[in-house]
Structure 1
Amino acid sequence: MNGKIYTNSFDIPLTPITKSLYLQALKCQNAFHLIHDEVIQKPNTASFGGYLEWGDYLSLCKGLFPGTPTVEKSTNREESIELSSNYLKQKISHFGSQLRFENFVGSVELMEYEKERDGWILWDFRPIGSIKQDILRSFFFYQKLVEGLGYRVIGFKLIRIQTKFVYKGGEIPSEEYLLIDDVTSRMESEFGVREEEWNLFLQTIQTGNEGSFPYSFLENKPSCRSLKTCLSPSHCAKGKESAKEVFDYRDSSELAKQWFQSGYSSYESVPDSELSPIQKIQKESHCSGKVHFDTAALSQYLSNVTKSVAFLDFESINPYLPIYPETKPFQHIPYLYSLHIWDQETDTLTHKTYLHDDLGSDPRKNVMEHLQNDLPKGITIFSFNDFFEKLIIQESATVFPEYLEFWDSIKSMFIDLALPFKKLWIYHPGQNGKASLKEILPCFSDESHFGLTIREGQDANYQYLRLIKKQVTAEEKKRVLEDLIAYCKLDSYGLFLIYRMLQKRLSVI
């Protein structure tokens, strides 16, 4: 009823404990109780675009087990749980098993019954390239549910993605694209660790059941690493909510927690003796309210820049189910670029852009062709974290070798405009320790991504993938294409504004 579970002896509603809540408890006891006790709403952790590919990925996984029935997700969860229970009693393998034991609920991708050993193998399907700790913890959570229901678990298997797989076109061959990992032996070898985590988890639940949970950012273990990521500082650091500043210090990690425990609550409160050279720069900038500017380092950094300069930004998709021939899972495929070209002698700024709107074809060749035509020869190219732009061009030229000469001619012309901010050769107090373009641009100009419909790269990735998957109307398609161009344009224009700012400051000093 209303998502609640009621005890047999009392009409007291209990919030179901899911796998995600269990994993949350292992990371932060405070966060678990804040969500479980409904003090705050569970944060939305859904990633951009993942569900757009999940259905096809799930079909590939299921294709390895023909004839296996599926427990479809129902608005009435009781029906799904009952159907799963019947399959378990009849020893029938099935997908999407809905399990409930006491106050724990979970969904296992595949419950496979093995007659010879009279036990169940738990399967998980993950569109990932490597095995993470949370996967093993998830398996243990499922194991506790299955064993609690009185069934024997004999193995654990994971289906994930072969990241070295190269798509050749047509249907994706499951046997080449998918990897099957039998993690049974690893689960057995790490049983002690998993059991210890489970017992601590049960203690966490018991502490909450005994009364109001004593939220504490420092005393409860584990807890989140930073007060800035805390789900509710008003509970976990009551009276000290404003002490987030010490967590803005670069490279502070666990040290910031020690500062917080010592009573330091602001930049100026942390003694210089405990700060690194970079952190001292931050402190001085915040205390004085002035921009730190390392003239010598920045002069050297810009010493070989050409008279005309270019500012380049790409947008890409990186689907885990490859779409275009000669691509790998998670490979970034460019579909849009924005290029601003500034002629310093004439003070002329020119904008060039290309958006691949033929959604049924590979965009890379067209992107490379237009970029080669739009980019003047022999000029400096600024990008933010330029490894990304260079990798995209290099990988595209490898598939389309007619552009290898173009790549060879420009790869030495790139300069990373993020470098001065990472090194703290320049630092504005408004950055609050961050060094992303979204944080930097408003500090040094009147421009900001805040007013855009699309404000970050992940959303741009998702929106273009929506277009490819034809999940938009014709009217919406037009709007999305315009929004993508506007977002990418501001990125490259922002680079120009930052470069001009650096030049002006150097000319004045």
Structure 2
Amino acid sequence: MTPITKSLYLQFLRCQNAFHLIRDGVVQKPSTASFGGYLEWGDFLTLCKSQFPNTPTVEKSQNRDESFEESASYLNQNISHFGAQLRYQNFVCSVELLEYEKERDGWILWDFRPIGSIKQDILRSFFFYKKIAEGMGLRVIGFKLIRIQTKFVYTGGPILPEEYLLIEDITSRMESEFGTREEEWNSFLENEKETKDKPVPFSFLDRKPSCRSLKSCLSPSHCAPGRENAKEIFEYRDSSELAKQWFASGYNSYESVPDTELTPIQKIQKEAHLTGRVHFDNLKLSEYLANVTKSVAFLDFESINPYLPIYPETKPFQHIPYLYSLHIWNRETDTLMHKTYLHEDVASDPRKHVLFHLQNDLPRDITIFSFNDFFEKLIIQETTNVFPEYLEFWDSVKSMFIDLALPFKKLWIYHPGQNGKASLKEILPCFSNESHIGLTIREGQDANYQYLRLIKKQVTAEEKKRVLEDLIAYCKLDSYGLYLIYRMLQEKLSVI
């Protein structure tokens, strides 16, 4: 039988169908790896391990039986060790640290997580470890977690573990939730017993717990036969739970859902899809663009947000800008100018350089459009906190920002081709001939990862040149896309 790992158990608690589909090999396990995470994990792990000097490690081996045997040897001798490999019946897990406490003759389970807050899956993971450890006859006496101190401010030099790491004893919290965790565990065991050697009746309508929405379903053809012919109802905005009910009621298209069950926004969607026409709220958009200057700017930043701070006066997960693209359009002369800055010296802090060039490139008293402008404004504000010489620049531009995502979130404008989505990558092809599909880098997370690779020297000189070009191309299309969308809005307003 396929061993039950922690990730499989957590998958069961999220969706029973997905658990069985993965375990039976019907679908592949979804990837949980984040862009760039492994680039920092080794350094984070080293910091965590530094808190336990002279503690041996069970290294991961292709022959997992060898790892189980090595861990078993440490357990028999009551020796604390990293990477503990536990196996009980058909359950297996790897624990970051098993610490033996001689005074109480018991074991403390440790987990190391590069996160800023405790999430439910961490508590569920600890309980899974506990069940396997106790099944092996180990006496579990505590649960401890090492995570990131989000208030930590890096001042330069080596990161001091005692300042960066937050070590928490969560034993009391675990014990207070044992009832809930035990119910989840018993539900899992009961399901295992019921489905042993039997076909599993996949249906997201009948089984609980189940996915809240089929949008993220691993295999709709198993869980919801007919879903492929009813995808439209799952594209309605703000409809995750409603769409499930609609599907159960036999609705399978925009048209089939009665207006009485739709919100005002969903009614706009429905009409646009049935008529094939773009919805355009002339009044709202006229008010929205009423105070736009004659010349306008379109700004997009790319950033990294490492959990191990790299530059002085930064915090974990803080966004650090290294690239911007700026398009400036003069309406009177109908001329478009492009400015960009990419910080190629990856060994140095890019923030001051980014603001220096942006201050020179961005005209004063000009409307600045960004997509979800909170991000761009936050980057400038946080940078000026460290480099106060740019405070005057920030004060002069912060009131000039306008969020170009707002009309699409509010559905003041809606194109049937958006299919309920409101991201720039979904919107741009609907209103122009441009698309991110042909780019090597197509999303912000990948851009973040690629620049981190440069910092970590994970590329050759030739590859570095290509990555820098790809980053510029990606950022340039984002700001150019904003220009195209704005021109479209202006043209529509002029003919209505």
Aligned 8 A contact 1:23 1:134 in 2: yes
Provide the rounded CA distance (Å) in 1 between the counterparts of 2:18 and 2:189. 15
- Out of 52, 62, 75, the position equivalent to 2:39 is 52
Pairing of 1:262-281 with structure 2 (within 5 A): 262-281=249-268
1:175 to 162, 165, 187: 162
Count residues with an aligned counterpart.
496
Matches of 2:191 and 2:405, distance apart in 1: 43
Tell me if structure 2 keeps the 8 A contact 1:333–1:364. yes
RMSD between aligned residues = 0.7
2:114 match = 127
The superposition leaves residues 35-81 of structure 1 with CA deviations (integer Å, 9 ceiling, x where unpaired) of: 00101111222110000000000000000000100001111111111
Which of 273, 279, 293 is 1:286 aligned to?
273
2:248 is equivalent to residue 249 of structure 1: no
After superposition, residues 149-160 of structure 1 pair within 5 angstroms as 149-160=136-147
The residue number in structure 1 matching 2:301 is: 314
For the Cα contact (< 8 Å) 1:312–1:492, is it kept in 2? yes
Q: 1:165 aligns with which of 135, 147, 152?
A: 152
2:133 aligned residue: 146
Name which of 107, 111, 130 aligns with 2:94: 107
Q: Residue by residue, what CA displacement relative to the aligned partner does 1:257-299 show, whole Å, maximum 9, x if unpaired?
A: 1111111111111110011111111111111111100000000
* CA distance in structure 1 between the partners assigned to 2:367 and 2:486 by the alignment: 12
- Could you list the runs of 4 or more consecutive aligned residues of structure 1 that deviate by over 4 angstroms after TM superposition? none
Deviation by residue 1:378-426 (Cα, 9 ceiling, x = unmatched): 1000000000000000011110000000000000000000000000000
1:357 aligns with 2:341: no
Q: Deviations over 1:440-459 (max 9, x none)?
A: 00110010001100000000
Distance across 1 between alignment mates of 2:444 and 2:323: 12
Mapping of residues 181-196 of structure 1, within 5 Å: 181-196=168-183
Choose 402-411 or 201-210, whichever is displaced more. 201-210
In the alignment, which residue of structure 2 is the partner of 1:73?
60
In structure 2, what is the equivalent of residue 8 of structure 1?
none
Please state how far the C-alpha of 1:210 moved relative to its aligned partner.
3.6
Structure 1 position 478, deviation (Å): 0.5
Could you list the per-position Cα deviations for residues 151-210 of structure 1 after superposition, in whole angstroms to 9, with x for gaps in the alignment?
110000000001010000001011111101111111111111000000111122223314
| Counterpart secondary structure, 1:269 | coil
Which AA in structure 1 matches 2:141? I
Aligned to 2:494: 507
Establish whether residue 486 from structure 1 lines up as the match of residue 473 from structure 2: yes
Any stretches of 5+ residues in structure 2 without a counterpart?
none
Supply the distance in 1 between the matched residues of 2:313 and 2:138 (Cα, whole angstroms).
45
Q: Which residue of 1 aligns with 2:458?
A: 471
Identify the range of structure 1 (455-464 vs 265-274) with the bigger mean alpha-carbon deviation: 265-274
The residue identity in structure 1 corresponding to 2:88 is F
Matching residue of 2:407: 420
Residue 394 of structure 1 aligns with which residue?
381
Instruction: String of CA shifts for 1:73-130, please: whole Å, max 9, x gaps.
Output: 1111111110001111110000000111111111000000001111000000000000
The residue type paired with residue 397 of structure 1 is T
- The 8 Å contact of residues 227 and 244 in structure 1, kept in 2 or not, is answered as no
**SS of match in other structure, 2:434:** coil
| Structure 1 partner of 2:85 | 98
Q: Is there any run of 5+ residues in structure 1 with no aligned partner, and where?
A: 1-13
Q: In structure 2, what is the equivalent of residue 219 of structure 1?
A: 206
Q: Partner residue of 1:429?
A: 416
Displacement of 1:240 in angstroms is 3.3
CA distance in 1, matches of 2:431, 2:228: 28
CA distances 1:292-337 after superposition (whole Å, capped 9, x unpaired): 0000000000000000000000000000000000000000000000
**TM-score, normalised on structure 1?**
0.97
Deviation at 1:244, TM superposition (A): 2.2
From 430, 433, 448, the counterpart of 1:461:
448
Could you tell me how far apart the structure 1 residues matched to 2:226 and 2:115 are? 41
- TM-score normalised by length of structure 2: 0.99
Report if aligned partners of 1:23, 1:138 keep a CA contact under 8 Å in 2.
yes
Deviation (angstroms), 1:241: 2.5
Quote the Cα distance in structure 2 between the aligned partners of 1:180 and 1:383. 39
